[in-house]
Amino acid sequence: MIVFWIDMSLFDILLFLIFVLSSVLWLRSRRPASYPPGPTPLPIIGNLHNVAKKDFMQAIRDLRQNYGDIISLSLGSYWVVFVNGSENLRELFVKHANETSDRPPLFIFKLVKNKGVIASSGPNWKHQRTFALSKLRDFGFGKRSFESSILEEIENFLNLFESFKGKSFDLPGIIRTSLSNNVMSITVGRRFQYDDPKFRYFVNLLDEVNNTAALSGALNFIPILEKLPGDPFGAKRILEVANEFFDNFFGEELKEHRETLDENNIRDFIDAYLVQMKTVEPSNEYYTDEQLLSVIADLFGAGTETSATTIEWAFVYLMNDMDIQIKMRQEIDDIVGTGRLPTMSDKHNLPYCEAVVIETFRLGNVVPFSLPHNASEDIYFKGYIIPKNAVIMPCLDSVAHDENLFPDSHSFKPDRFLDENGKICGQDKILSFSLGRRVCLGESLARMEVFHTLQLCPKVRNFLPPEGESPPPVKGQLGVTYSPEVSKLRAISLT
């Protein structure tokens, strides 16, 4: 044996080590026969080449055509299982909720160290979600008692439209500013003027958080990329932005609330959380400043980004089909009249308008893969094993474009949600807010925000593309959400 090593050249030794390493990586990346099917992984890169060569959403659709509804891919250091189809999703995330409700230790979740609601798991997730939902309901979150705040914001929203006097303006910025104020009124107890420097700083910071997070996708599966020089995947920048978000803006709000707290006069969510912190033992890890700041960040993620993107999609569809705007306006005029604006109490009498909202949630498809789940133990599912610690991706996109549920699924057809009597039907088929225990925290608020925005705007405005331009393409790009390419439009007053 000694002679063997002595006789080998340095080049031979290098080749031998490469062979051994490649063999080990090949064996590690081989798909066990009991796992769901998928393309053959390559050494080192696994199946990265199968999803990196084209649009990610289209790549998963193509793999489904070849391998079926349940697919497994070797991505970085994880086995990732993609679950397609309404029945499969409902069975896995409802019937197997105990094994599928945790979050995996991906980069984007490790940033907040199992804090807050969205990124946490286990007992901490249960504590934060239960408390947050309870207190948000107390403040009218998603209820008609909160409607006046949303209507006030809509009025400011429409007044801002009026100030442009028919000229084109930036749509995403205005929508996010408006919706952020809805969450502000609950979390910090007040709304901000759109030109308030502190508020503008916050909205810009929120945009950068989302934009930076969109660049960091590869870090979730290949952590070593975090160490590359130059920060090409935004690892360092997202940490900086997150710290700025917590410390500079909400850190100041938290300090001010603590100094002015009156336990007999709870003003907002921050006050309620501070009182809760006082009622538990100092050693209680579930109610801390860090947890509070993480929950607040979750509320803005759940109540702003997805709603804003959904409304952007709605404007794209409305600009591409003026007949829909006309039908919505006619229904509102017939039922509500011209003397006031619609409210939630009018909703059941505005079925076509409601159908437009539901179809926007479906076709907008703003979170096509929900958020990743973790298999806390081996799961025997549909004849396969989803291995413990696998990352599970719910493919909500597969439901939004299920031709059996929604014929001609890539077309915007609100009438598909109306029965022969003109009543709403079939809305339970869509899974836009995910399902199971991890259903979106901000669903009730999002539904109210989108309903009001879409009902009020057609009543008083025509929405058109910038002068001399065609309607924006019905085409999206996948980042933090699946968002349209529209950036500008015109609002033309009807009076």
Q: Annotated binding site for heme: which residue ranges? A: 440
Task: Give the separation between CA 142 and CA 147, rounded to whole angstroms.
Answer: 8
Query: Residue 79 and residue 84: Cα distance in Å, rounded?
Result: 16
In order, the DSSP letters of 292-305 are: HHHHHHHHHIIIII
Please report how many Cα atoms fall inside a 13 Å half-sphere around the Cα of residue 139, on the Cβ side. Answer: 26
* Beta-carbon contacts of residue 304 (< 8 Å; ≥ 6 apart): 176, 179, 180, 182, 183, 206
Q: What is the largest CA-CA distance in the chain?
A: 98
Contact 88, 379 (CB under 8 A): no
Closest CA to 397 of 303, 478, 487, 302: 478
Per-residue burial over 205-226, b = 16 or more CB atoms within 10 Å of its CB, e = otherwise: bbebbbebbbbbbbbbbbbebb
Structure-token pair, residue 29: 């990346």
- Mark the binding-site residues, compressed into ranges: 440
- Residue pair 220/119 in contact (Cβ under 8 Å)? The answer is no
306, 442 contact by CB (below 8 A)? yes
Contact present, 360 and 310 (Cβ < 8 Å): yes
| Angle at alpha carbon of residue 103, lines to 395 and 91, rounded to 5° | 45
Q: Tell me the C-alpha distance between 151 and 455, whole Å.
A: 11
Nearest to 153, CA basis, from 174, 134, 123, 125? 174
**Unique residue bearing structure tokens 């949600």:** 417
